[in-house]
Structures are given as C-alpha cells and as structure tokens.
Amino acid sequence: MSSSNKPTVLVVDDKENMRKLFSRMLGDAYAVTEAADGEQAIACLASCDFDVVVTDIQMPGADGFAVLREVKRRAPETEVLLVTAFASIPKAVEAIKEGAYDYLSKPFDPDEVALVVARALEKRRQGREVSSLKARLAVAPGLHGMLGESPAMRALHGLLSQVAARDLTVLLTGETGTGKELAARAVHRESPRTSKPFVAVNCGALPAELVESELFGHAKGAFTGATVAKPGLFEEAHGGTLFLDEIGDLPLSVQVKLNRALQEREVRRVGTTVPVKVDVRVVAATHRDLSAEVAAGRFREDLYYRLNVVTVRLPSLRERREDIPLLAMHFLARAGRPEVDSFTPEALRALSTYEWPGNVRQLENAVARAVAVAQGTRITPEELPPEVLTTPRAASTAPGVRATTESLAKLPYREAVDGARDTVSREYLTALMQEFGGNVTHAAERAGMERESLHRLLKRYGVRSDDFKRTE
C-alpha cells in the first residue's frame, strides 16, 4: 500500500499513451506507478512492493513474461495482469499458466479494466489472508478444541471456564451443529472432575423403551434379554460428568425419574428398589426452546428448573463469521489429504458468505466433501457443495436487489458493494444470454464489449452460454 493508503499498481508499457490511459482509468482508486519498459519495471520492483502489476506482453528488451517471472520471484502474492492484442491471446493464456492472474485484450473496456484490477487486488488480499490463517491456526485461541477468535467465541470461552470451576448443573442451548458436545467436554476438562469419566449420550437417539435402562441401569431379569445386571450411564459417570445431549427429546415418563435422580443424587436400576448413590455433574444440551416445550406440556417444569441452573447459549456460525476461514483451514488440515493445503480466495469468500443453517457441523462436512473431490492443491468454489454457491449471504442482501437498510447495515462496506456488484453482474449476464439465446457475439455487441471479454465475464460469474442455446 502507498503512503496514501491506496492500493499500488505498476503499469508497464513502452507506449506512453497506453500508460497514461491506464493512469486515468485507475488513478482515482489506486496509486499508479508507470514504467516505460521491462527493465524499468524490474528496477521498480526492487524498490517497491506493488499490489498489482499491469504489463504489456510485447515490449522491446525485457517483455511481459520477464516482468511476470521477476514479480513472482520477488513477491509471489503480487497479482499480474497481461495486456495483449487479440492475435496474442495464446501467449496471454500461456502467461496465466505461469502465474498471471488474467489478461486484458485490446481494445478494452474501462469498466472491465476496473473490474479485473479490483478482482486481482481482492485475490491478493485473500491470498495473504490464507497465508496468515495457516500461521494463526497453530496459535489460535481456543478452549479444548473450540476454535474461534471472534468476540462471541472469546466471551463463550471465558464463560465456560468460569462455569466449569463451580460444580453446578449446566444447560447448553443453541442451534444444531454449534458444538454443544465440545462445550460440554470443555466444561469437564476445566473442572475439578477432569480426571474422572466424561460420559456422553444422545437422548434423542435412544429407543424410548431403553432410555430408562441406559440411564439408570437394570437388574438381572428385569426384562426379556436382561441376562446380567448392568450399571447405567449415571453410575459409569460416577465422580465425573454426564452429558445429556438433546435432553428435550426425553420421554415424559423418564423426565420424572431423571428429576428425582438429580434431586436425590441417587438412581434405581430397572427391576430393583435399591438406591445407588451417584456423584455426577450433569451438563445437558438442547436445540429446542425448553420454556416453550414446558408451556406446550412436552417437558416437565420441575426438571426444566433443575437443569436451568446455569444456561450457556452457543452462538451460531452466522454470528461468528470471522471464525469461518480459521475453522475451514482447521477442517482442511484434518481431512487426510496433505497435498490439498488451502482454498482459493473465491472459495474462502463463498464459505464466508453462506448462511450455514447446519453451523459448524455443516461446515466440517462441506470441507470434507470438497477435499474428497479436489483436483488440485487448492479447493476451488466448484468443488464446494452446490448449496454453498447458490445462496450466498452477499447476494441475498445486495443493494437494490433484495436488501433492506437494516440488513445492509450489518455488512462491511466492501462486502455489501462486492455482493451487489456480483449479484447485478450475474443477473445481467443471465438476462443477456437469455435475450440472445446464448449467442455470445450478438450479446457482446449489445453489452458494448469484445467477445473475449464477455466470455471471461461469463466464466467468472458461472453463466454458461450453452444453457441458453435455442433449438429450432
């Protein structure tokens, strides 16, 4: 960045009129430096770190390829755009294989130039973010596996640590997939009971006829198949922590006995009246609104108040979007394919703007799926689950499309503007292809741009001209 805080662009061309043209097109938004040839450009690279380099391919002496190689040698994160005549497009494609971000074919449209430079800058920014994510992951603050640097997660870590020190019943609430079992384990490990057992059970997964036996145990002969006496989960967790996940799914008949077990600190195995004393800390969790369940008669009021000693709500992933890239890199590292070691900037952006109704669990599954189908070393948007690409948050709140003032105010300025531009561009291109039946030549004439430029925009926004071909 320059001292003016504008992104820096180096324009390299042996024709002064071309350099001046780029300076006029980019000067308002960028700090532009001009170089009259490849040698001068290479000298500039030695003294300044540029965000984007725009260079002509055909120049006397050191050409655009020489500039590209020097940029990638000195500053691999700097993005390079090649400027070429239509006849030299194969050379530009070759340059892209060597690391150039994109190319601009003459004559070019000023709006397209601004768009491509902006995207190159965004790729550089996000490339730096990926690099920093890898470094941060090694030292990321967390609580026994609960990764997160967002204010919401830092507050949660502090609250769980405080709660863990006191031997009280804890009720964890929040949407499905927010990591309630991880939170329960964190409470256990931070507590004085950490050396004792941690026993977890999903109440919703137990058959109704076996719930009581699983929780409290049974005597020999208590029912058909009970050939031996068996302790229940309360006894297994003696001295430690019992995690009752999805407690809102417990049958009412079992809720009565659970309430008594918590009150008396003892259980009675099915088939016997002999009480067994247990020393257990209970951490319960639910995605349901238990107060509403009580009002509806589906959950006992006395048990609700016995569980609701300390309630901790886990934030949804939508409330901690800052953590999405870090979590994605964490799941990537655990996925078992070391050769797939990062995401493209576009893929990270797609992950960060999706709504994630299934929260962290859905994100983990999405990354695992992407790793399984990845063709290269970086995960691309095309390798993400389709739903991640079809319902981005930015698109749903784009200005002038479907946004409200309130929803826009919740977005960073750049994200709101980028989302609006992406949405309008995609919808415009779709309408354009629909109008001309997929004929790119005629559509380019209407759009006022070169055919190759329109092709690149269609590819960038995922609009396939073949989908609009008309059959006679």
Q: What is the pLDDT of residues 251-271, one digit of tens each?
A: 999 999 999 999 999 999 988
Is residue 419 one of the residues assigned to a domain?
A: yes
Q: Does 88 share its domain with 156?
A: no
- pLDDT (0 to 100) of residue 378: 86
Residue 357's pLDDT is 92
Residues 65 and 167 in one domain: no
| pLDDT for the residue 394 | 38
- 229-240 pLDDT, tens digit per residue, is 889 999 999 999
pLDDT over 50 at 398, yes or no: no
Q: Are residues 157 and 286 in the same domain?
A: yes
> How does residue 396 score in pLDDT terms, banded at 50, 70 and 90?
very low
Higher pLDDT, 390 or 200: 200
Q: What is the CATH number of the domain that holds 161?
A: 3.40.50.300
pLDDT classification of 283: cutoffs 50, 70, 90: very high
Q: What pLDDT sits at residue 228?
A: 87
**Is there a single domain that holds both residue 193 and residue 128?**
no
Task: Say if 367 falls within a structural domain.
Answer: yes
Instruction: Report whether 341 contacts 332 (CB < 8 A).
Output: yes
pLDDT for 108 equals 78
Same domain, 256 and 129: no
Mark which of 359, 391, 423 sits at the end of a domain.
391
Read off the CATH number of the domain in which 367 is found.
Answer: 1.10.8.60
76 in the same domain as 210: no
For the ranges 13-17, 47-51, 101-105, 194-198, the one whose mean pLDDT is highest: 194-198
- Report how many domains make up the chain: 4
Does 244 share its domain with 385?
no
CA distance 461 to 467: 14
**Domain membership flag for residue 143:** no
Percentage, residues of the chain above pLDDT 90: 47
Using pLDDT thresholds of 50, 70 and 90, give the confidence band for residue 449. Answer: confident
pLDDT-based confidence at residue 418 (cuts at 50, 70, 90): low
Which residues form the domain of 94? Answer: 8-137
- 245 or 425, greater pLDDT: 245
**Model confidence over 336-389: pLDDT tens digits?**
888 998 888 788 888 998 999 999 999 999 999 999 999 888 898 889 998 888
- pLDDT of 2 over the 60 cut: no
Confidence class of residue 166 from pLDDT cuts 50, 70 and 90? very high
56 domain-assigned? yes
What is the pTM assigned to this prediction? 0.62
pLDDT for res 403: 42
pLDDT at 399: 35
* Together in a domain, 174 and 297: yes
Q: Does one domain contain both 187 and 266? A: yes
Q: Is the Cα torsion angle 257, 263, 264, 267 positive or negative in sign?
A: positive
Answer yes or no: do 190 and 251 share one domain: yes
Say whether both 237 and 376 belong to one domain.
no
Q: Which of 313, 337, 368 is the last residue of a domain?
A: 313
Q: So what's the pLDDT on residue 444?
A: 83
440 has pLDDT over 80: yes
Domain boundary among 313, 333, 351: 313
Residue 14 lies in a domain: yes
Domain presence at residue 142 = no
**Is 3 part of any domain?**
no
CATH number for position 28: 3.40.50.2300
- How far apart CA 2 and CA 228 sit, in angstroms, is 77
Of the two residues 89 and 232, the one the predictor is more confident about is: 232
Whether residue 406 sits in one domain with residue 372: no
pLDDT of residue 402: 40
CA proximity to 257, closest of 345, 374, 90, 244? 244
208 domain-assigned: yes
Query: Can you tell me the distance from the alpha carbon of 154 to that of 168, in angstroms, rounded to the nearest whole number?
Result: 22
Residue 360: the pLDDT is 95
